[in-house]
Amino acid sequence: MSEPQTAYAWFARSADTYGDDAVALEVGEDRLTYARLRDLSERLAARLVAAAGGTPPRRVGLLASRSVTAYAGYLAVLRAGATVVPLNPEHPSGRTADIVKAAEAEVVLTDSPEAGTDLGVPVLPVGPEELSSLADGPAPELPYVEAGPDDLAYIIFTSGSTGTPKGVPIPHRNLSAYLSQVAPRYDIGPGSRLSQSFELTFDGSVHDLFVAWAGGGTLVVPQRSQLLSPVRTINNLRLTHWFSVPSLISFASRLGTLTPNSMPTLRWSVFGGEPLTLDAAREWRTAAPGSRLEVLYGPTELTISCTAYRFPEDPAEWPGTPNGTAPIGTGYPVLDLLLLDEDGRPSDHGELYVRGPLRFPGYLDPANNAGRFLAPDGRPGGGEPLTDQHWYRTGDRVALSDGHLVHLGRTDHQVKIRGHRIELGEIEAMLRQQTGVRDALVLAVPAPDGEPELHAAVSGAGCTSDGLYAALGDRLPPYMLPRRIAVLDQLPLNANGKIDRRAVLGELGHPR
């Protein structure tokens, strides 16, 4: 039997197989079988088409979080043949409106009647009462044309160095290729209970949804507050599969809950989005000795992940690495990986380039493609049309050690804060737009708990830290807001006349 070619088809195959015999979604007290979730998603799809004026929309914003509407809505958008544009209710409304406009969304589905009143497109609010009423009456007829493999499944917006979020479109064929590689890895079937730790605006959520649904497992959705107590949440929800950023290990460690065998239900533990230290991995393994442990690596542009490393069963066989972080492993067999040194020559260490069926087709705004691709023969990509043979430039420095790749850092000023990908240039650009600011610099520095946090320094007259915080809060999501903004008469410069980043660290009271 051939594998499904679209995201919805992966879910529908399990719905055909399991029907009412397996639970597909668990949110709080709500438990939906595969048959019920499919019926609800089809009814929601019909409502979406009606909200869009009777014609199936091309792109739909999904402004919802950790609710039945969020996950049934995701499937409904796909069932209508449209592209999902995830939106975060916690983000400033101005930023959300900018994304809706950039994505050319035609309608927004939300789980809150108060949300999305100024987005410039029709808004369909579907809360718990609306969901209940949807179950009444005959099922709608859905003669919509299904999406094809080359149509877009979703568009995730990531931080952009120019000050504007970048849209990363992922076609169905990319996601299908990803699921073919990854879904069989984790022994998922009815009775498997998989965590949903990521927000829908983070592409790790796509892994959660469709790896669970491809195998007939249950997607179990913790509330955000529960994620701060991972061990208690895993035990209370009886999770068998866990996928999160490694930062949550730090939360569990500080709570003192990572005691031996404290997570007996876990069979698989997967971490991604930021480096996993070997010390954190050992703590987690001690608390879940019956769980296999794996690391996934990959930028959004490469469809969630492109490499994987599975720890040996025996901790005595775990590797040592130069920086104390777990290897990111090896590339999936369908991909080509290339390492180039600073002179652009193939090497066993340097910047990582990737091509293959997981590589996205280019940014929503083609202007963002500049400098991000290499031609098939390894030359810097020019203005020629992108082909499947072009290499994507990840910006990540890696080295080959004992047959596995080890992540060594970035070649630019992109950072990860608890899994969120942040271009420091986007925050700097936003600061420079504020009245009185001449220049700005944003740095990632270690917080007291060892995790990175953002600090900013600006030069100018007539601006205050409080005023700048308020201005940024109107345009940036909470995870991009600096913990501290220092207003200086002038940012220190080096001998070349550029901002001296080490001197700014000193001004902010950090070791240089």
Task: Tell the residue number behind the tokens 């996601």, with chain if given.
Answer: 175
Q: What's the Cα-to-Cα distance from 251 to each of 72, 365, 416, rounded to whole Å?
A: 30, 38, 17
Q: What is the Cα–Cα distance from 376 to 374, expressed in whole angstroms?
A: 6
Pairing of strands 30-33, 23-27: antiparallel
Helix (H, G, I), strand (E, B) or coil at 222: coil
Strand partners, 293: 269
- Amino acid identity for residue 237 in this structure: L
Cβ burial 156-178 (10 Å sphere, 16+ → b, else e) = bbbbbbebbbbbbbbbbbbbbbb
* Cβ neighbour number for residue 200 with a 10 Å cutoff: 27
Q: What is the Cα–Cα distance from 162 to 129, expressed in whole angstroms?
A: 42
Q: What is the pLDDT along the chain (512 residues), one digit of tens a residue?
A: 589 999 999 999 999 999 999 999 999 999 999 999 999 999 999 999 998 888 899 999 999 999 999 999 999 999 999 999 999 999 888 899 999 999 999 999 999 877 766 888 999 999 998 888 887 777 788 766 789 999 999 999 998 766 688 999 999 999 999 999 999 999 999 999 999 999 999 999 999 999 999 999 999 999 999 998 999 999 999 999 999 999 899 889 989 999 999 999 999 999 998 889 999 999 999 999 999 999 999 999 999 999 999 999 999 999 988 888 999 999 999 999 999 998 888 899 999 999 999 999 999 999 999 889 998 887 776 567 889 899 999 999 999 988 899 998 878 777 877 778 788 878 887 888 888 888 888 888 887 777 788 998 888 888 898 999 888 888 888 888 998 898 888 888 765 556 777 788 777 766 55
Percent of residues in the chain assigned helix, strand, coil, to nearest 5 = 30, 25, 40
Closest CA to 451 of 305, 297, 248: 248
The full set of domains in the chain, from first to last, is: 336-410 (2.30.38.10), 415-507 (3.30.300.30)
Residue 214, pLDDT score:
98
Residue 161, pLDDT score:
66
Residue 385, pLDDT score:
83
Q: What is the Cα–Cα distance from 76 to 60, expressed in whole angstroms?
A: 10
- Give the predicted TM-score (pTM) of the model: 0.87
Helix (H, G, I), strand (E, B) or coil at 354: strand
The DSSP H or E segment spanning 45 is helix 34-51
* Cβ neighbour number for residue 281 with a 10 Å cutoff: 21
- Amino acid identity for residue 391 in this structure: W
* Cβ neighbour number for residue 395 with a 10 Å cutoff: 17
Inter-residue contact 208 to 198 (CB < 8 Å)? yes
Q: Over 389-402, what HEC string results?
A: CCEEEEEEEEEEEC
Pairing of strands 307-310, 292-297: antiparallel
The set of residues, in sequence order, having a beta carbon less than 8 Å from that of 17 and lying 6+ positions away, is 34, 216
- Amino acid identity for residue 309 in this structure: Y
Residue 496, pLDDT score:
55
Closest CA to 415 of 439, 392, 396: 396
- Amino acid identity for residue 310 in this structure: R
Closest CA to 109 of 157, 49, 168, 54: 49
Strand blocks (E) in 284-372: 292-297, 307-310, 330-331, 336-340, 349-355
